[in-house]
Amino acid sequence: MDWRIVDEGLIRRGELLLSLDFLEGYGLELNILNNGKVGRPFKLTESYIMFLAIVRYLFSMPYRQLEGFTRALNRLIPKLPSVDYSWIRRRILRLDLSPYKSLSKYDGPIAIAVDSSGVRVHKCGGWIERVYGKKKRYIKIHFAVDVRTKEIVSMDVTTDDIHDSKVLPRLMIDASRNRSIAEAYMDGAYDSSNSYTILRSMGVKPIIKPRRNSRMDSGPPERRSSVMILKTLGEGGWSRVMCYGRRWSVETSFSTFKRLYGEYCMARSMENIAREMMAKAYIYNMIINLKN
């Protein structure tokens, strides 16, 4: 590993946070945006809104504080107008920040690791349980991650009552649109005949950890073979033979994602929660690719 390249990638992350490159073509972008527009003209370009979205999500900044941030920017850079927080919110929610737009241009076959993790709906503490006696809900983010680069090549957002295996078809369809998938590593939550059938139909080699009580005489051929190796060599031997350690790349991605943004989301409606998670994944892929 060339540590100079790694160091440079980490340094460039700081440049990304406050990159003002969009100022160079700000006037031209604003003219294009307002060309033919009827009614009140736009004052903010899409690139400026993108800049504000990065600040909001990386620093968990509420919209009212973000309005104060635009006031401070206006004093430093007069061409950037200060904006009411409600307008900022509206424009950020209208951004199309698909995580797949910030993927690298690699087009070869890859191995992916699939898993899910919980995220709190908002920073409410325990008062819901204390006052109402109700269980706090959370949402689940489902990732399919390139085991080599740690890029998120597919993701989904669901409520906490949706089983991981139910989301697998959507994850695999999206992943196959963005990359050529050769192998897929998953834990025991995906150990079902349906999961093997989906992967086989897509030409993907399934590497799914069998349950401890799995039988060798049932299920698809790939699963029977995997169970036989597990029974013969034990979990450690099975893991070495199947290179199962590569699945931990998705755990690394969740850890990085939550270190960047915390273990909660700021939005409250399911639609806006999904938008927020997608935008955060877009920024995550941008940051990951600075060192690739």
* Confidence class for position 127, pLDDT limits 50, 70, 90: very low
pLDDT at 107 over 70: yes
- Report the percent of the chain where pLDDT is more than 90: 45
Domain end, chosen from 40, 64, 95, is at: 95
Tell whether 84 and 113 lie within a shared domain: no
Count structural domains, the chain.
Answer: 2
Domain end, chosen from 95, 111, 132, is at: 95
Instruction: Choose among 187, 180, 199, 173: nearest CA to 242.
Output: 187
Tell whether 117 and 233 lie within a shared domain: yes
Tell whether 80 and 105 lie within a shared domain: no
* Confidence class for position 157, pLDDT limits 50, 70, 90: very high
β-partners of residue 154 are: 144
Q: What is the CATH number for 125?
A: 3.30.420
Q: What is the helix (H) or strand (E) element at residue 39, kind and residue range?
A: none
Tell whether 214 and 114 lie within a shared domain: yes
| Residue at token pair 């349950």 | 211
pLDDT at 219 over 80: no
The pTM assigned to this predicted structure is: 0.86
Tell whether 125 and 88 lie within a shared domain: no
Distance separating alpha carbons of residues 117 and 258, to the nearest angstrom: 10
Tell whether 18 and 46 lie within a shared domain: yes
* Mean pLDDT calculated for residue range 98-126: 84
Q: Is 256 in a helix, a strand, or coil?
A: helix
| Strand pairing class (138-146; 205-208) | unpaired
Burial annotation 200-228 (CB, 10 A radius, 16+ → b, else e): eeeebebbbbbeeebebeebbeebbebbe
Domain region containing 111? 101-271+279-288
Please give the pLDDT value at position 69. 93
Asked if residues 17 and 54 have their Cβ atoms less than 8 Å apart, the reply is yes
Domain end, chosen from 64, 95, 126, is at: 95
Tell whether 48 and 189 lie within a shared domain: no
Tell whether 169 and 213 lie within a shared domain: yes
Say which residue, 291 or 274, is predicted with more confidence.
274
Please give the pLDDT value at position 128. 46
Question: DSSP per residue over 91-130, as a string?
Answer: HHHH----GGGGS----SEEEEEEEEEEEESSS-TTHHHH
Instruction: Choose among 38, 70, 25: nearest CA to 51.
Output: 70
Tell whether 265 and 239 lie within a shared domain: yes
Distance separating alpha carbons of residues 286 and 52, to the nearest angstrom: 15
Tell whether 80 and 128 lie within a shared domain: no
Tell whether 235 and 150 lie within a shared domain: yes
Tell whether 135 and 224 lie within a shared domain: yes
pLDDT at 134 over 90: no
* Mean pLDDT calculated for residue range 206-225: 84
What value does the mean pLDDT of the chain take? 86
